[in-house]
């Protein structure tokens, strides 16, 4: 599972509203095909890993995959059946703040139909709407 090796602050402020469009990571940089987010949402490390495995099953040793997002925000939680108060809970899991327009995954080395099938199976694992984008050849 993806998580940072170390962070400056163990318990960051949680800002649940994700406003605006992605400023960076909106173009295909490495591969030929990309999976682009169309909605704002927190994507957990488990969801990223699950989508990566789903894409890997379609690749079958052919092609190359880039994961363009990383979960670097800790989400805290109190244990179940705990009374209110007693401070902020312990870090529970890691999320990546995804804004519309962000490229999540990139692929190369396989035909477009296979890439679309692979991204289709990966999009089932993600909590956001996505679309497949193709790099423009100059």
The enclosing domain of 56 has a CATH number of 3.90.1170.10
Average pLDDT value for the chain: 94
pLDDT interval class at 136 (50, 70, 90): confident
% of residues, the chain, pLDDT over 90? 89
Mean pLDDT of 67-75: 96
**Per-residue confidence (pLDDT) for residue 62, from 0 to 100:** 87
Closest CA to 65 of 96, 31, 26, 35: 31
Mean pLDDT of 78-84: 93
- Alpha-carbon distance of 82 to 104, in angstroms, equals 36
pLDDT interval class at 60 (50, 70, 90): confident
Please check whether residue 2 lies inside any domain of the structure.
no
For residue 138, pLDDT beyond 70:
no
pLDDT interval class at 109 (50, 70, 90): very high
Closest CA to 93 of 49, 37, 31: 49
Say how many domains are in the chain. 1
pTM: 0.92
**Per-residue confidence (pLDDT) for residue 72, from 0 to 100:** 94
Please check whether residue 63 lies inside any domain of the structure.
yes
Between 136 and 2, the higher pLDDT residue: 2
| Structural domain harbouring 128 | 33-72+92-134
Please check whether residue 6 lies inside any domain of the structure.
no
Angle formed by the axes of helices 45-59 and 112-125, nearest 10°: 150
Identify the residue whose tokens are 């993806």: 2
Q: Which residues contact 32 (CB under 8 A, 6 or more apart)?
A: 106, 107, 108, 109, 115, 134, 135
**Per-residue confidence (pLDDT) for residue 19, from 0 to 100:** 92
pLDDT interval class at 17 (50, 70, 90): confident
For residue 15, pLDDT beyond 90:
no
Please check whether residue 11 lies inside any domain of the structure.
no
């Amino acid at each position: 599972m993806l998580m940072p090796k170390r962070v400056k602050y163990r318990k960051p402020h949680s800002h649940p509203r994700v406003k605006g469009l992605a400023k960076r990571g909106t173009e295909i940089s490495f591969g030929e095909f990309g999976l682009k987010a169309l909605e704002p949402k927190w994507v957990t490390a488990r969801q990223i890993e699950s989508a990566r495995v789903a894409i890997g099953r379609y690749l079958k040793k052919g092609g190359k995959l880039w994961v363009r997002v990383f979960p670097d925000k800790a989400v805290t939680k109190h244990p179940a059946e705990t009374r209110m108060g007693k401070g902020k809970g312990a870090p529970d899991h890691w999320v990546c703040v995804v804004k519309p327009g962000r490229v999540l995954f990139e692929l190369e080395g396989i035909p477009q139909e296979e890439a679309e099938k692979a991204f289709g199976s990966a999009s089932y694992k993600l909590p956001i709407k996505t679309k497949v984008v193709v790099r423009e050849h100059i």
